[in-house]
Amino acid sequence: MSVFKYRAFTKEKRTIAGMVEAPSEDMAVDILRDKELEIISLVEKRSGSGKFNIVLDRVKTKDIVMFSRQFSVLIGASVALVQSLKLLADQTKNVKFKGIIGEIADEVDGGAKLSDSLAKRPKVFSDFYVNVVRSGETSGKLDEVLTYLADELEKDYDMTSKIKGAMIYPAFVLSGLTVVGAVMMIFVVPKLTAVIAEGGGELPLATKIVIFISDFLANYYLLVGFMIAVFIIGFRFFLRIPMGKKIVDIVLLRLPIFGKLFQKIYLVRFTRSLQTLLKGGVNITKGLAITAEVVANAMYREIIVETKKEVEDGNSITSAMEKSPYVPVMVSQMIGIGEKTGRLDIILESITNFYSREIDNTIANLMTLMEPIIMVIMGVGVGTMVAAIIMPMYSLSSQF
């Protein structure tokens, strides 16, 4: 199969652009003509630049959030489904996403269900997204479901953005320190330590350590770079192994400072996703099955899968949660109350709101804590250099 980028006129003489998948150019032309499009240009995407194009044209979470919000507004304003999709395709800037929305519009216009068209594109629309839309179609409340889905996706996106934003500053500073330290060790320190070594005498332990590290980096920097590359590739491969992913997820949950934050993030993903599905009309067992894939942590996935089995066996939804150290007692108790009162979706919303505020407070505290930690790291680095290089040179100069 090849992918062709096209520009064409519609029956209304409106210019559209998108992509079509076909075995050959002739087949691509036939597909577009079947859609009653007048082709302006048709170009095959070359495999040589494919990876680069994927990076530029990939559909980001922000694109999905904006699409969902605008889609919900159009449907809520009683704009026809196909017309809404075509309007969104026209104003979407991402070329790849524009083509996908256009294809979905054509499929729906041809009689396909919206949820079925979305399900054919799992790399763009998750199982979670598809099932919420499907429940809206079934209940006849697609506008309400889309609005609710857009709200929840927006909240999840905002939470993720805050976490990434909080990590940018320390990551940038520590990366900068690492680069500067490596440059000094390779190019600057050898010249200084050569002067110290020529002076004779017993060198301090700190100086010997710095000289060893500097010599190793200067002489084997290619080996160090190769080892780092091997480690990164090996780690990514390790993450693809189920046991490896589980080990990493356990470590994340047990980190001294960030472990509690990760626990709260996964709990919010679980409660928010399950609440959205229940609110959309998805039954509890299917909702748990979908949420297990959304939560993105092996330990919480096991808890949710076990919870699903307990529910299918007729037991309480909290049976598996009460046994896990990763689910706070308050959460399992509140979910149990929601189950007994028949207000599980409302209880899940309360838990989500509570832990969302907890995440905001934790991130704010971490940002406050990061600054002195970074200052201490910088101080230790500078102090080590002074003790290892400057002090011996000062002692050497005082002998003359």
DSSP E strand boundaries for 23-123: 38-44
Higher-scoring residue by pLDDT: 274, 208? 274
Average pLDDT estimate for 350-374: 87
Listed residue (288, 349, 296) closest to 319, CA to CA: 288
Task: Tell me the per-residue pLDDT of 279-332, one tens digit each, with 9 for 90 and over.
Answer: 888 889 988 988 888 888 999 999 999 999 999 998 989 988 988 889 999 999
pTM, entire model: 0.72
Distance of CA 66 to the CA centre of its chain: 17
pLDDT at 54: 42
Domain ranges of the chain: 1-57, 60-125, 259-356
pLDDT of res. 399:
58
Instruction: Kindly report the CATH class assigned to 1-57.
Output: alpha beta
Lowest mean pLDDT among 61-70, 93-102, 320-329, 383-392: 383-392
**DSSP per-residue codes, 306-334:** HHHHHHHTT--TTTTGGG-TTS-HHHHHH
Choose between 68 and 34: higher pLDDT.
68
Question: Quick one: 259-356 is in which CATH superfamily?
Answer: Type II secretion system (T2SS), domain F (1.20.81.30)
- pLDDT tens digit sequence for 163-222: 888 788 788 888 888 888 888 888 877 877 777 767 665 677 777 888 888 888 888 888
The count of residues in the chain is 400
Task: Read off the pLDDT of each residue in 266-272 and give the average, rounded to a whole number.
Answer: 91
Query: pLDDT tens digits, residue range 71-105?
Result: 988 988 888 898 999 899 888 888 888 888 888 88
Q: Do domains 1-57 and 259-356 have the same CATH topology?
A: no
For 11-60, write each residue's pLDDT tens digit.
Answer: 877 777 777 767 677 777 877 887 788 888 888 765 444 444 444 457 88
Q: pLDDT higher for 1 or 107?
A: 107
Indicate the average pLDDT of the chain: 83
CB 269 within 8 A of CB 276: no
Determine the 3-state secondary structure of 12 from DSSP. Answer: coil
